[in-house]
Amino acid sequence: MDPKTPNNDGWTAPGHGTGPFGEPLDDPRPRVDQRLVEPETDYEVVRGERVQASPSNPDHADPHMQLDAVVFTHLRPGWRGATDLLTRTDERSDFATDASVRREGIDPTTGARYLEEVAFEVVNTQRAGDLTAKAQDLTARGVRRVFGMWPRQKRICEWRGGVWQVLPLASVIDDECFARPIPVQALLDASAADDALADALLARGNSRLAAVVASAAHQGEARGEVRGEARGEARGEARGEAQGKAAALLAVLQARGLDVDEDARQRITSCADSAMLSVWITRAVTATALADILDASAR
């Protein structure tokens, strides 16, 4: 959201230190789903100050859409992504970040949804002081990581140690909630986002992409057969088939972000066993370690 702050109306409300059945809790803060604002309206409350949260112009709305797509596609099973999810951080604040990630289900200690663990905010016209206040309140509440995006400046920052720290564009955001680290560039550049989405789907073992990979392997096999036939050599045909599958396997490993050392690369490219290469390709779609793929004992 791009908040605009009117006069301070002194918006505060008492917290309720009780659980879902009225039992007292050690934590005196309000539950994350207790409201100072009416959901789906056009304001938030940041430290007792009513902040107008208006619909966005393209400068904010477009990168927000890209952010949502990238974050959602990278989620591991068991995690949930949300857009503009209201969170009550303390007695005085009730606001939403542009995108957030939390565990699925209900927190048994509160009877409410889990608090988000990672949050992102797109910055366009938002005041720097409001953004910093949000980051302070979110982390004080228990949100592990808070990121700010400045699309115009092509800059991503993370709130660490009480300051905004700029992330290098070539770096990644690695976290337990993501199936694959998010490239920082993918949050700022549309073509990088496309590549990141495909890589993330492969990392999550997407069945449709697995079928595409298998099809590519078969096409490589067919091209190898054509080359072998053109040479009139059965050995050339088999070698061409294996080369096509080896190339497909290396492409999958690269897309999945699995490091291939020189010994493993040599083992793959020199393998003449087409059936074994097919097994490796199938494993590569879901495996998390190279050793699990190249284990020759399981066929």
Residue-wise pLDDT for 176-210, tens only, equals 999 999 999 999 999 999 999 988 888 887 777 77
Confidence band of 26 (pLDDT split at 50, 70, 90): low
Q: CA-CA distance, 144 to 158, in Å (whole number)?
A: 11
pTM above 0.95, yes or no: no
Q: Mention every residue, 6+ apart, whose C-beta is less than 8 A from residue 26.
A: none
Q: What is the mean pLDDT of the chain?
A: 82
The pLDDT tens digits for 100-143 are: 999 999 999 989 999 999 999 999 877 888 899 999 999 999 99
| Structure confidence at residue 250 (pLDDT) | 86
Q: Determine if residue 170 is left, alpha or beta; phi over 0 gives left, psi from -120 to 50 gives alpha, anything else beta.
A: alpha
Asked if 256 contacts 202 with a C-beta cutoff of 8 angstroms, the reply is yes
Sequence-ordered alpha helix ranges (H) in 168-233: 190-203, 207-231
Q: What's the confidence (pLDDT) of residue 245?
A: 82
Q: At what angle do helices 234-256 and 207-231 cross, to 10 degrees?
A: 150
Query: Residue 54: pLDDT band by 50, 70, 90 thresholds?
Result: low
Number of neighbouring beta carbons within 10 Å of residue 5: 16
Give, for 270, the enclosing helix (H) or strand (E). none
Report pLDDT for 28. 78
User: Which of 159, 161, 130 lies closest to 146 in space, CA to CA?
Assistant: 159
Residue 227 predicted with pLDDT over 60: no
Q: Is the pLDDT of residue 23 over 60?
A: no
**What is the pLDDT at residue 8?**
42
- Say if CB 55 and CB 67 are below 8 A apart: no
Using a pLDDT cut of 70, give the percent of the chain over it. 79
* Per-residue confidence band for 272, with pLDDT thresholds at 50, 70 and 90: confident
By CB atoms closer than 10 A (0-12, 13-18, 19+), residue 129 is exposed
Higher pLDDT, 193 or 292: 193
How far is the C-alpha of 101 from the C-alpha of 84, rounded, in Å?
Answer: 11
- Cα dihedral 158/101/58/47 (nearest 10): -70
Higher pLDDT, 224 or 72: 72
Residue 279: pLDDT band with limits 50, 70, 90: confident
Contact 49, 64 (CB under 8 A): no
Query: What's the average model confidence in pLDDT over 168-183?
Result: 95
In the prediction, which pLDDT does 291 show? 86
| More confident of the two residues 255 and 224 | 255
H/E segment holding residue 21: none
Distance CA 95, CA 16 (A): 18
Q: Which of 4-18, 38-52, 69-83 has the lowest mean pLDDT?
A: 4-18
Judged by average pLDDT, the poorest of 43-52, 55-64, 68-77 is 43-52
How far is Cα 42 from Cα 6, in angstroms, rounded to an integer?
A: 12
The pLDDT value recorded for residue 40 is: 66
**CA geometry: angle 93, 136, 48, nearest 5 deg:** 25
Whether the Cβ atoms of residue 121 and residue 149 lie closer than 8 Å to each other: yes
Distance CA 26, CA 28 (A): 6
End-to-end CA gap in the chain: 52
**Which whole-number Å values give the CA distances from 152 to 122, 188, 218, in the listed order?**
10, 9, 44
